[in-house]
Amino acid sequence: MKKTIGTLALFGLIAAGCAAMVSDEEREAQALAMMKASFKESGQAKLDRLDQDDMQKMCSRYHGDKVMPRDVGEKLEKEQQALIKFPADGKLVGDWKSGERIAQSGVGKQFSDNPANPNGANCYACHQLSKAELAYGTIGPSLYNFGKIRGFTPEMQKYAFSKVYNSQAFSACSSMPRFGHSGILTEAQIKDVVALLMDPESPVNK
């Protein structure tokens, strides 16, 4: 009897050891399969939203107390910078009034939204942009006086466009959406958001 119990215990330890030997890739595949089994497609919300690109997969490996090595973060940022697509006409600034409407709107990408309509950026959910707006989030830094503080220069316009287009190019694993890279905002919309940040007449800079 004691021998049988000992044998079972040994098998239990071996099984536990084998379970612990599962690779990160296998765990990621198991988690993805579980999520895809739990979610159902509805309207424009498809299951492919659960698929991660290489950058997202790497960010998923570093969370909680697991700090991403600096060289890994720098490599990810460099790769994301190469994915930024600047306007062919060379113009980075649009209409700040349209940019304000985009910043205020949180419509788009949900299963109940009409994909034929333009998406919003919902900027105020995370940032302060103007003094007139009393309701805003604090997850991201305040953007009030963005251009006024940093300067209305072509270099800053390029930075603003790049940051909105792909935030990961400057801060690996940032929680800010990659509005251009992910196709959330159009090129024209990004120009308008840049204008909201960079136009001297915008409420952001008053």
The boundaries of the domain holding residue 154 are 41-206
pTM for this entry: 0.84
Give the pLDDT of residue 36.
78
Is there a single domain that holds both residue 100 and residue 50?
A: yes
Residues 29 and 50 placed together within one structural domain of the fold = no
DSSP result, 55-106: HHHHHHHS-TT-PPPHHHHHHHHHHHHTT----TT------HHHHHHHHH--
pLDDT band at 8 (very low <50, low <70, confident <90, very high): very low
> Would you call 198 exposed, middle or buried from its count of C-beta atoms within 10 A (0-12, 13-18, 19+)?
buried
Q: Which two tokens stand for residue 175?
A: 């929680």
Residues 9 and 109 in one domain: no
161 and 185 share one domain: yes
Q: What's the pLDDT at 3?
A: 47
Q: Are 23 and 64 in a shared domain?
A: no
Q: What are the two backbone dihedrals, phi and then psi, of residue 5, each rounded to the nearest 5 degrees? A: -65, -40
Per-residue pLDDT tens over the stretch 63-73: 888 999 999 99
51 compared with 119, residue with greater pLDDT: 119
Domain count, the chain: 2
